[in-house]
Amino acid sequence: MNRQRFLAKYNISEQDFEKAGISWGRLMEIYHHYLALRPDLETILTLLAEYLRKADKVHTVKARTKEPEHLLEKIIRKRLACPQTEITADNYQEIITDLVGIRIMHLFKEDWVRIHDFITENWEQVETPIANVRHGDKAKLIEGFRNKGLDIVEHPYGYRSLHYLIVSRPAKGYYVAEIQVRTIFEEGWSEIDHTVRYPYDIDNSILSDYLVIFNRLAGSADEMGSYVRFLSRELKRMQYSHQEELEEKNTLIQELKDTISDLEIEKQAKEELQRKLNILETRILPSQSKDNRPERVSVDDLFFKEDRDSEEWVETPDISLPNGGQIKSKQSR
């Protein structure tokens, strides 16, 4: 690898490289050690990714081992930030903790709870998980992160993601993997932000202003997604409740018809009772389907039954409206 081309590619000046205080020879030693190690990491990565795909609420899993050149770049930048940190071929795996990186995406913001539980129940944690949040994020959401034991970090650029460092112990080995958990909208914003400015154009004020707006839109999209699911659940619940009420009225009317039929009264009086009952039936019951049966809603289709464990999150959304108003809904019991 050519040193000058590498530094130019990653926007590292000779002055900064010297300031990092790590020789090119040591970097090459780390580089070749990592090349030999990487096949083992790829195997671990595949196993972890396949297992994580089994977790409830996971939509997509992306997995990668760190590119060798990116490893060297990160070592140089870490040395610039922390000159006292000694990095060698013997300890770089302990210092650079994202050699194995897995990203989990989910659809709805509240789904993080199930994924968090799956991760913490199945793997040893190297450190306390972190929740990166944006200034202005919902207090209820942040409190939920705290209640689950995550440390809260308000990210200066509005980056949102949950970070876990887990231990994998295949055979006699000990490997650390980084897992990031975020919504699809957060992933979209992060990928675009990373592509257009990170890490070489972080201080561009024009890009920063537009990315801040984009970040707000991504957060609003997550809220809208959660509320759309909430509305869908409520509509289905109302339809199911209406169906039960309709069946109860049908049963009652049929019982009245049977009772009238059994009454020992004159035919004319019986027909008059039947006529009045028919009028009552048409007024209190909606028109029915062609096969003379009301449409049915399967209980299995109801969202509120599916997500009972996380109803605190999905059944009481608090959505800020463009006009400053609020929509609040009562929690179901």
Per-residue pLDDT of the chain (333 residues; tens, 9 = 90+): 899 999 998 889 999 999 999 999 999 999 999 999 999 999 999 999 999 999 999 999 999 999 999 999 999 999 999 999 999 999 999 999 999 999 999 988 888 999 999 999 999 999 999 999 888 788 888 889 999 999 999 887 778 899 999 998 877 778 999 999 999 888 877 777 766 766 555 566 666 666 677 777 777 777 777 777 777 777 777 777 777 777 777 777 777 777 777 776 667 777 777 777 777 667 665 554 444 444 444 333 333 333 444 444 333 344 333 333 333 333 433
pLDDT of residue 254: 78
pLDDT of residue 305: 37
Q: Which amino acid is at 40?
A: D
pLDDT of residue 207: 67
CATH class of this structure's domain 3-203: alpha beta
Q: Is the whole-model pTM more than 0.95?
A: no
Q: Which amino acid is at 255?
A: E
Which string of b and e fits 279-313 if b means at least 16 CB within 10 Å? eeeeeeeeeeeeeeebeebeeeeebbeebeebbeb
pLDDT of residue 298: 39
The percentage of the chain sitting over the pLDDT mark of 90, rounded to a whole number, equals 43
pLDDT of residue 108: 87
Does the CA dihedral 181-183-184-185 come out positive or negative? negative
Q: Nearest Cα to 129, choosing from 139, 120, 142, 137?
A: 120
Q: Which residue shows structure tokens 């903790």?
A: 97
Phi, psi dihedrals of residue 263, rounded to the nearest 5°: -65, 140
